[in-house]
Structure 1
């Protein structure tokens, strides 16, 4: 610059904003939380949304036990993005957070406290014990509530729903009573998964599978009625649960399997088989079985095929039949039964059947009407009961879930009586309690069930007459699944499931509020007391005192009143499965609360994929039993959280990521952005490197918003330009906004947050920062009060309102920061805004097609200039005045109709339809465009830095005509 040339920097319209480049989220986010709480923003939204179409996301209750993990954060953030996006699209989007408060994990913690003090739970008054459980849950609810709020989750936090609230306990009991009154409740004695450690039945949803090392035994059952070559034949079974052998009542075969008769012709010294023994085995497994018995192929021969009719005619004896000291305990017939569950994939082709310890075994006996043959040999601590010879008192598992003495004792006795062919050990997948992590057993116990194939008889038959029919029909006709695979998973589970086990043998929960007649059998019509007056007394007491009322002294007399003799009835003290509690939440949240749902249905249930067998499942069964259909119209499932390498997170591996740690280092918005960027329908990975990438995306978005704030400094309505009066570039941006508005709304309606974010991120970084903003910086900074500058600022204002509202459901803190920077005030908040409606006439397909050509040509020019910049021929694109050769006449006309030099940020540009010379720069992906580099001619304008021939010829020294005019 010449000495006499003024410094024009202060004459430029440079961006003015106090919006910081560095977000400082960990420090500033809590301030916004306090602000929102002070504003009562959730209630403000409800007031604003009065009269709108409701949208209710029903919160699946987390368990009030322990700090949040990253899976909790994923779940709650997804829910919050759903609620906020629906609200900003014009719905009345309600969110009532809740907690599951009853059940074994809390009870277990209180028992642990007792055990550490040498105190026995059974010595404590049950109401006192329940009060300790309640206080424990209350403490964790307060902690988790603060942790959820820290993630920016909005909702009715001051009035959540709790399954242990008195009214909730009353309604849970009321929902149970509907099963009682419609006849779907029954007491049955059947095998259920039982935890000896926790001394309670468990539902499938409370089971997880881990590797477990089991004993394996091959046991021959001798036939007593075989004739010919089947006289004295032995049917060999294989099992991994030797402790169930004392409860054997049958041996199953499959008529579709090929069986053979095998005779031992030789034997090694150490072998339990004897020469001349004849064994029945599945042909596909015979060689393997006999090898386990240490018999070489030369030591046995196959005599012949054995038909299914021959097998069905055999009668066997138990291996312990006639054992000295057994006192005839096992002296009964063991029949052969045909069963589809028998395969020749493993074992022997025959299945040892103990109906008290296996579901398929039980089903086989039910089908034959043999319920009188059930055994009750194993107690609640997995101990053999006193009436069982040889094994009384021996446990399958000890109090810590380790192997007891029962298995080895049974095996030793089999060896003693000559009842073993082979033995071994194997590691296989085995059911464990997800709470204690200890193995479980199948055990026949009296439990309370909901019959899912019995007609309910409540007149709510639109979706079917039975719970199963109603559930399957609801799945297909009522519910929208995201992703669709969720439908198949739940459908197959409910299609194949047995009756629902409702009872648990614990103390902390809602009791099964029913009475049974003393001396009556479960099959008797008067076994259960069904009386609405008694039910009403129970419900009134629960409303006032909670479920503790059931356990107080004199409760039975109080509830039965003068209508029944208390001595004739027994009060049931089992508690309801906690899945019944959480499955009932629709009744006391959606149906019962003023801010629930108008029709008692949720628009969405949203949980992890494990809830197909958990909350989605139990809610479906419960509602189908009491309301005749599903409680939800939509179900969304997300995957699990893994570390960066795709491994399951574990404290022992040290690869966990705590939400608290992320918010302390980066802020909650980074965690929310991680959720939005990921495909939640699959498992999600998170770790330090992934979070760094998310933080980088955040910075780029923040810079986009910061640029707009600076450009909009002092913008007023007087500056606004009607779209019809705007330059083509601005109208093209409005067209893109109209397209994006549709994409965003459809994406949010489909809960496709990843799709929405990718579109918005690409728009901000590629179409705005690298294209529109880059082009319009010159006009914004250097123009005077021109129509072009006013149009650009008008578009910036339109962009601002759309981007802040589009991104607010994801970046709740940052968009509030952006909004308040421009619109401060006590009552101001981006979250009180709706996504603005977009005029249909912004769309202009012809203009968009034209500008697609302009942008393609621009790519070739900017790439050509980048080569020159890299080679240090020029320092900036304004030093260039390239010649651009265009083969396509339509493209050439399009470029000539716009200020293509401004669009390419050059000082000049020459457009020609002449063929491009050989030395012209070409891009393979931009056909028909060749760029020949030329330097700009003239002097550099000291204000806008363009190199133009007219610089220095105007009133203001060192300026071009545009800048001279701007200076006045």
Structure 2
């Protein structure tokens, strides 16, 4: 039949056959009403205990462990949260569907600066000074703030249909978690990987703490650039340089007051050039030959490069390679200030010096640069710690003491105090406020950060890892004689084989990266490049809300105390009282009676929150609190920014303590952009709130969007995109509605063995088997947009537009016991059981609604079901023939369409067609094409038939004597009904 229901019979017709047609019947509504229905379904799952019931049912099944990366407990869920958790839920549900025990324990990151910052903001509003509040009280407020947002986000994520252990999530601020974090830190101390040293680190003068690379974002800025002249006072290999000036170029003028040396490239070619027309008179300047022209342009002078030649106001006097500068010494422009500034500034060979920009000479401030620090350290030059935590020069500093802040644009500008003093000293060769470049900022405060040398705690990445016993033998002093391995359970033997003593953390991590599966594969290169080039891990922060670096340092040796009994007492204290256990008053009890507290310094820094989250595998997967979990995880799944964040901190922590990664695979998703491909920003007004989307559309629409995009890349969301997703959903819902209606009253007695099915049903079974394999492949590849596309294309193209379309006539008009109709309804039952299961991980609410519409029960759920078991393959032999039929059907449909537009025919039922090939008997082709007649010919042609229309099935057939009469089939069916 061409339509679902026949129209009313014309008045001239005496018989209405509608009551004899078997129309689909279902209470399942076409209008979804998801925003209203979904909360009730959530409540039902809660009463059912869906998550725990699944754990009980699958306790003996093979495990699949996805370890949840902790979102930060600060603010409402945003679209990134929604995408991330929908993807995680899809992983867990598909693995569950495949028959595994796939638990999901959600968690939250609860310590750190953002929470502390928010609590401090409230203090500032009330004019309270944080430093005057007892530490325990302040931490309690931070804990309460974090818990509040955990509770809020938990309800928001549950609304998405995420199935997890919401009653028992993990929190990094749980006392047991804090104790485990401390125990993990002790493992690094016990194996010699932990040390305290003064190195330049990313420092936020606004937040007054060190930052990790993962806490830094880069933005384009316009900075002041200056060229500064340092007078050369000694040059053993080139005496003619004495009295000349070595010129450096920098975009951080504030580092000049902390300069201690200059660096040159040993293989770089330098020139000594006389600039005659300078404000101060003729000057002889030393710069790299390759940069002479750009330098001259920057200071406004033409330049020639031939020795001895002169043009305009510049003459090149000599050229030589940098190695001739060995032993040369300059003096600081502010040398007249005496003391620090009067010390000689040696010229040092630096392999990092290039001629990409500047002058080919680099000023060295070991307090404020990694290369600077390393080169100066190698030459016996130590940092001076002139810039304090707030970015001010310390009060006793001879130049600009007590002034700053060094990130203040006015302070460092070309007319600011630094440049003014250099200009007065005759050392400022050039200055401008127009240099555009990328610069690091704190992701929280959005303020510029600086490199600042301060005493910090580091985990070494290139130092050979030792066993605790070997460490005691090698160090002796400062390490307890009774020190032993960690108080935590022994680590699982490394599967990579790269956890041996003597490995470095970097080597272990690189080996673990090679052994890990990355989806997409490019993630391997991304994290690999970061780990391969990363510096030592700075793990200390100078804040209050976090896990303390719970170490005692021997005042005589400066080494951390490693003592199993002390460690055990510390861990036990944290397990009992959390971070408040680490106090000055607790020192005697923690050290024990055999140690004098006066001999030890209690470290007061806290741990980098990335170390906290890097330990989650230990206190979640290994703790035993969630017995359904196990270590290592099968999968970590987060955004691509976590290659430098949680993926990496977890990798380093686990490789340092267990010799391998805590995961076997890493799945990465991109970021959600607006409809135009722009990054979402509150300032741009283009953010999309998932809470609003769920109120307007429902969670299933949001889930369908998340699982339809190529999430491995950056992707888009907007009104038009969501409208398309809603239409996609409507078609899927209509498919389920049809299945429910068409299966009304279906019972086992009606089921027909596959061997008795017609070819079309066997062909459809073949397609279902093929789809079954494709969906499993998509799950294995975590190709969820491919999974959804396969499902929707099958529903729209293979079912609605083909199979359902052809067989509606049989469903509506054949006798109840007809073999074709029984085969069709049997196949629909197979489709129902397969499609509801396959759709359940995507449309979690709708699939439940569909299942309950057919199999209602208080104790049942579609989410308890396993992957569908299909009848044995039975249509492969007819697949080629039906592919040909479908191709021919498309050509026939295209040929009919012009006649429909011209109203020669109102529907395909009125058409007669000729075809050039006949994969099936002509009568079966007519049924497949939904036309009146098919015959053979030289071309595909269409004409209007002269047959009359059956008043019951609407087919135009030769045996119908007049319109509204009955065809032979319908006469038989109606006769049977009358007889019955």
Work out whether the TM-score is over 0.5.
Answer: yes
Cα distance, 1:787 vs structure 2: 0.7
Q: Identify the range of structure 1 (896-905 vs 100-109) with the bigger mean alpha-carbon deviation.
A: 896-905
Q: In the alignment, what sits opposite 2:732?
A: 701
Partner-residue secondary structure (3-state), 1:493: helix
The answer to whether the 8 Å contact 2:923/2:934 transfers is no
1:135 maps onto 2:167 in alignment = no
Residues 1:357 and 1:596: Cα distance change in structure 2 (over 3 Å)? farther
* 1:470 paired residue number: 508
Query: Aligned match of 1:392 in 398, 401, 404?
Result: 401
How much has 1:843 moved relative to structure 2? Answer: 5.6
Aligned twin of 2:536: 499
Contact 2:22 2:811 in 1 (8 A): yes
Alignment of 1:942-957 (within 5 A): 942-952=951-961
Cα distance per residue 1:12-47 (max 9 Å; x no partner) = 110001111110001111111101111110111111
Q: Deviations over 1:56-95 (max 9, x none)?
A: 1111100101011111111111111111011001111111
Alpha carbons 1:620, 1:629 under 8 Å: kept: yes
| Paired position in structure 2 for 1:289 | 295
Distance in 1 between the 2:776 and 2:141 partners? Answer: 48
How far 1:338 sits from its partner (Å)?
Answer: 2.2
2:927 aligns with 902
Structure 1 counterpart of 2:843? 811
- Equivalent in 954, 959, 968 of residue 961 of structure 1: 968
Q: Distance in 1 between matches of 2:964 and 2:906?
A: 24
C-alpha spacing 1:23/1:109, structure 2 compared with 1 (3 Å): same
Please name the residue that 2:788 is paired with. Answer: 757
Instruction: Rate the CA distance shift 1:618–1:675 in 2: closer, same or farther, 3 A.
Output: same
Aligned positions of 1:460-859 closer than 5 A: 462-464=497-499, 465-477=503-515, 479-518=516-555, 520-522=556-558, 527-551=559-583, 554-595=585-626, 599-784=630-815, 785-839=817-871, 841-842=872-873, 844-859=875-890
2:472 aligned residue: none
Contact 2:639–2:669 (Cα < 8 Å) also in 1? yes
Tell me the secondary structure at the aligned position of residue 958 of structure 1: coil
How far off its partner does 1:935 sit?
3.0
More divergent stretch after superposition (42-51 vs 844-853): 844-853
Q: Which residue number in structure 2 is paired with residue 257 of structure 1?
A: 268
Give, in whole Å, the separation in 1 of the partners of 2:585 and 2:444: 34
State the distance in 2 between where 1:343 and 1:931 align: 74
1:382 alignment partner in structure 2: 391
SS where residue 232 of structure 1 aligns?
Answer: coil
The verdict on how the C-alpha distance between 1:907 and 1:727 changes in structure 2, with shifts beyond 3 A counting, is same
Candidates 82, 86, 102, aligned match of 1:93: 102
Equivalent-residue separation in structure 2 for 1:47 and 1:580 (angstroms): 34
Query: Shift of residue 937 of structure 1?
Result: 3.5
Q: 2:122 aligns with which of 113, 116, 119?
A: 113
CA RMSD of aligned residues (A): 1.8
Maintained 8 Å contact 2:323/2:349: no
Asked if structure 2 preserves the Cα contact closer than 8 Å seen for 1:56 and 1:596, the reply is: no
TM-score by length of 2: 0.92
Task: Report the CA distance between 1:837 and its aligned residue.
Answer: 2.8
In structure 2, relative to structure 1, the CA distance for the partners of 1:392 and 1:827 (3 Å cut) is: same
Q: Using the alignment, how far apart are the partners of 1:403 and 1:547 within structure 2?
A: 41
State how far apart, in whole Å, the 1-side matches of 2:248 and 2:241 are: 17
Q: Contact conserved, 1:936 with 1:948, CA < 8 A, in 2?
A: no
Are the aligned partners of 2:830 and 2:870 in contact in 1 as well (CA < 8 Å)? no
CA 1:278–1:369: 2 relative to 1, 3 Å: closer
Residue pairs, 1:9-158, within 5 angstroms: 9-158=18-167
> Which digits, 9 at most, give the CA deviation of each residue in 1:285-331, with x for residues without a partner?
2122223333234111112321222122422222222x1xx232222
For the residue of structure 1 that corresponds to 2:886, the secondary structure is helix
User: SS of 1:189's equivalent?
Assistant: strand
Q: Secondary structure at the match of 1:691?
A: helix
Query: What is the CA-CA distance between 1:770 and the residue it aligns to?
Result: 0.7
Q: CA deviation at 1:598?
A: 5.9
How far has the Cα of 1:374 moved from its partner? 2.1
Question: Shift of residue 599 of structure 1?
Answer: 4.7
User: Hey, what's the Cα distance between the residues in 2 that align with 1:115 and 1:502?
Assistant: 28
SS in 2 for 1:95: coil
Q: Is the 8 A contact 1:257 1:282 kept in 2?
A: yes
Q: Determine which of 415, 428, 435 is the counterpart of 1:420.
A: 428
SS in 1 for 2:229: strand
Cα distance between partner residues in 2 of 1:365 and 1:169: 39
Whether the 8 Å CA contact 2:22–2:812 is kept in 1: the answer is: yes
Aligned residues of 2:65 and 2:104 also touching (Cα < 8 A): yes
Query: Which whole-Å deviations, capped at 9, do the CAs of 1:907-961 have from their partners, x for residues lacking one?
Result: 2222x2x5x2xxxxxxxxxxxxx222233343211100112222259xx982111
Q: How far 1:3 moved relative to its partner?
A: 5.5
User: How far apart are residue 430 of structure 1 and its match?
Assistant: 0.9
Any conservation in 1 of the 2:176–2:574 contact (CA below 8 Å)?
yes
Q: Secondary structure at the match of 2:943?
A: coil
Query: Partner of 1:649: helix, strand, or coil?
Result: coil
Measured in 2, the distance between the counterparts of 1:320 and 1:934 equals: 100
Aligned partner of 2:915 among 884, 898, 918: 884
Change (3 A) 1:266 1:392: closer
* Aligned-partner Cα distance in 2 for 1:631–1:220: 53
- The offset of 1:134, in angstroms, is 0.4
Give the direction of change, closer, same or farther, for the CA distance of 1:682–1:795 in structure 2 (3 Å limit).
same
Q: Are the counterparts in 2 of residues 189 and 444 from structure 1 also a CA contact under 8 Å?
A: yes
Structure 2 SS opposite 1:881: strand
The alpha-carbon deviation at position 249 of structure 1 amounts to 1.8
Q: Which moved more, 1:379-388 or 1:664-673?
A: 379-388
Q: Secondary structure at the match of 1:259?
A: strand
Cα distance in structure 2, aligned partners of 1:864 and 1:718? 42
Mean Cα deviation higher: 306-315 or 234-243: 306-315
Query: Residue deviations 1:163-196, cap 9 Å, x none?
Result: 0001011101111111111111100001011111
Q: 1: distance between equivalents of 2:951 and 2:293? A: 96
CA distance in 2, matches of 1:588, 1:661: 35
Tell me how far 1:364 sits from its aligned partner: 2.2
Partner of 2:485: none
Secondary structure in 1 aligned to 2:326? helix
Distance 2:954 2:253 in 1: 90
Alpha-carbon shift at residue 898 of structure 1 (Å): 7.1
Shift of 1:150: 0.7
Separation in 1 of the partners of 2:411 and 2:631? 50
Deviation at 1:339, TM superposition (A): 2.1
Runs of at least 5 residues in structure 1 that lack an aligned partner in the other structure: 887-891, 917-929
- Please tell me whether residue 307 in structure 1 is matched to residue 344 in structure 2: no
Q: Is 1:192 the counterpart of 2:201 in the alignment?
A: yes
Gaps (5+ residues) in structure 2? 1-9, 304-311, 469-492
Partner residue of 1:923? none
Partner Cα distance (2:802, 2:632) in 1: 47
Which deviations, in whole Å up to 9, do the C-alpha atoms of 1:408-452 show, x marking residues without a partner? Answer: 322222122222111111232111100011111111100000111
Q: Deviations over 1:221-250 (max 9, x none)?
A: 121123453232211100111111122122
